[in-house]
């Protein structure tokens, strides 16, 4: 296990700056996920750590060793790519052992490491097969095994599950989480899939436009987004955003465009126009017999999405504002129904024009 520290690193391609003065520390044994949309800089940052991209300015330390000027082979990290890159003419055993043979490791040590990695990944029965005889998930396990046998200071994963089908992604995601729990190794994992990030990460680094928007545990990022971008990117479906009028600085009721007033406990530095952010699970369809929610507003249901354990209602308020609400899995609501919606005031965020979040307390 080794900590990884980036200090004010920058990367440019000609006149185009893609990473600018970025600093980050990954603790030893931690699994950190770089999460963001395409073009956010997450893969570039990972490749800078691996040595596949140069660091123009700043420093990189891996396990206490300065590495920004070292070639990839001397950084003692192992990278698992989206493309498995297995040798088709070699068996699983030979693919896993190939890199160790190239560095002249003794055969008994190679055999020991391959056997241990195969046991860890539950693929002892696959060692004599060739890649063409394996499923996509099995090939990805071989690629991971090839990284494990190197016994690196850290593992770097660049969207390793992107080529798998949905069901296989779920199974392999769980296997990766279990692998990290067993190995307690330092891992950095790049993905644009928020479910992977929420499942795997000790901490998530949310990247947008090659800058860090927020760093935190999965639930911190989900429940307390630092910006409107994070709030919209994390969650499926994403957070609702509704224009509201805030009458004065501090804590005050807010007014939606349809005239509905909502008491919230989020302090803002000035009055004026804000966007109210609230996740669908905090907007509930109120049944006729429910007297607990006095503060409600009317809406019409446009689409009903039945997910089994819950029902999502895509609604439209009287002023035309669209909002997604949640009902029980056994909900009887249908498209075209008029419903009443209640809001959880403790789950509300206000976002100013710059996207900064002011959360309810």
Is residue 183 within 8 Å of residue 175, measured between CB atoms? no
Provide the CATH number for the domain around residue 73.
3.40.50.300
User: Does a structural domain hold residue 10?
Assistant: yes
User: Does a structural domain hold residue 231?
Assistant: no
pLDDT given at position 164: 78
Cα–Cα distance measured from residue 236 to residue 269, given in angstroms and rounded to the nearest whole number:
30
Whether residues 195 and 287 share a domain: the answer is: no
For every residue of 197-224, DSSP letters joined together read HHHH-SEEEEEETTEEEEEE-HHHHHHS
Distances (CA, A) of 99 to 60, 76, 110: 25, 13, 10
User: Does a structural domain hold residue 307?
Assistant: yes
Provide the CATH number for the domain around residue 269.
2.40.50.140
pLDDT given at position 360: 66
pLDDT given at position 243: 93
Whether residues 50 and 134 share a domain: the answer is: yes
Name residue 242's beta-bridge partners.
Answer: 276
Whether the bond between 237 and the residue before it is cis, its omega within 30 degrees of 0, is: yes
User: Does a structural domain hold residue 319?
Assistant: yes
Is residue 326 within 8 Å of residue 281, measured between CB atoms? yes
Full residue range of the structural domain in which residue 181 is found: 4-226
Mean pLDDT (10-residue bins), the chain, 361 residues: 93 90 95 94 94 95 94 92 87 93 92 91 91 89 90 91 81 86 91 92 94 95 94 92 85 85 80 90 81 75 95 94 94 93 90 86 59
pLDDT given at position 290: 59
What confidence tens digit (pLDDT) does each residue in 289-315 have?
Answer: 555 555 789 999 999 999 999 999 999
pLDDT given at position 288: 65
Give the long-range contacts of residues 171-176, CB within 8 A, separation 24 or more.
Answer: 171/137, 172/137, 172/140, 172/141, 173/199, 173/200, 174/199, 175/121, 175/141, 176/144, 176/200
pTM over 0.75? The answer is yes
pLDDT given at position 321: 93
What confidence tens digit (pLDDT) does each residue in 31-78 have?
Answer: 999 999 988 999 999 999 999 999 999 999 999 999 999 999 899 999
Domain count, the chain: 2
Whether residues 267 and 343 share a domain: the answer is: yes
pLDDT given at position 168: 79
pLDDT given at position 276: 93
Whether residues 215 and 267 share a domain: the answer is: no
User: Does a structural domain hold residue 323?
Assistant: yes
pLDDT given at position 23: 96
Helix axes 166-183, 107-120, angle to 10 degrees: 120
């Amino acid at each position: 296990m080794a900590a990884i520290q980036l200090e004010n690193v920058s990367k440019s391609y000609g006149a185009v700056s893609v990473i600018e003065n970025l600093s980050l520390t990954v603790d030893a044994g931690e699994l950190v996920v770089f999460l963001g949309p395409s073009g956010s800089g997450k893969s570039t940052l990972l490749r800078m750590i691996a040595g596949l991209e140069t660091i123009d300015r700043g420093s990189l330390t891996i396990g206490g060793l300065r590495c920004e000027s070292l070639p990839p082979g001397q950084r003692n990290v192992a990278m698992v790519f989206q493309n498995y890159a297995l040798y088709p003419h070699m068996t699983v055993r030979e693919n896993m052992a190939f890199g160790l043979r190239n560095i002249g490791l003794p055969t008994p040590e190679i055999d020991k490491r391959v056997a241990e990695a195969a046991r860890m990944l539950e693929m002892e029965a696959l060692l004599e097969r060739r890649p063409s005889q394996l499923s996509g998930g099995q090939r990805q396990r071989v690629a991971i095994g090839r990284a494990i046998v190197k016994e690196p200071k850290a593992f770097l994963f660049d969207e390793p599950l992107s080529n798998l089908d949905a069901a296989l992604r779920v199974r392999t995601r769980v296997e990766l989480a279990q692998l990290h729990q067993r190995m307690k190794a330092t891992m950095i994992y790049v993905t644009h899939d928020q479910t992977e990030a929420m499942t795997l990460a000790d901490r998530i680094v949310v990247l947008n436009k090659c800058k860090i928007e927020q760093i935190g545990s999965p639930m911190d990022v989900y429940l307390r987004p630092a910006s409107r971008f994070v709030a919209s990117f994390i969650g499926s479906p994403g957070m609702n955003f509704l224009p509201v009028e805030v009458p004065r600085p501090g804590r005050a009721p807010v007014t939606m465009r349809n005239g509905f007033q909502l008491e919230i406990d989020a302090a803002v530095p000035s009055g004026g126009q804000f966007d109210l952010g609230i996740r669908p699970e905090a907007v509930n369809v109120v049944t006729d017999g429910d007297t607990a929610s006095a503060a409600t507003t009317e809406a019409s249901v446009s689409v009903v999405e039945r997910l089994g354990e819950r029902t999502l209602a895509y609604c439209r308020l009287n002023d035309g504002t669209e909002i997604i609400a949640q009902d029980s899995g056994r909900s009887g609501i249908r498209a075209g129904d008029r419903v009443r919606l209640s809001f959880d005031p403790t789950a509300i965020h206000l976002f100013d024009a710059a996207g900064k979040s002011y959360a309810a307390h």
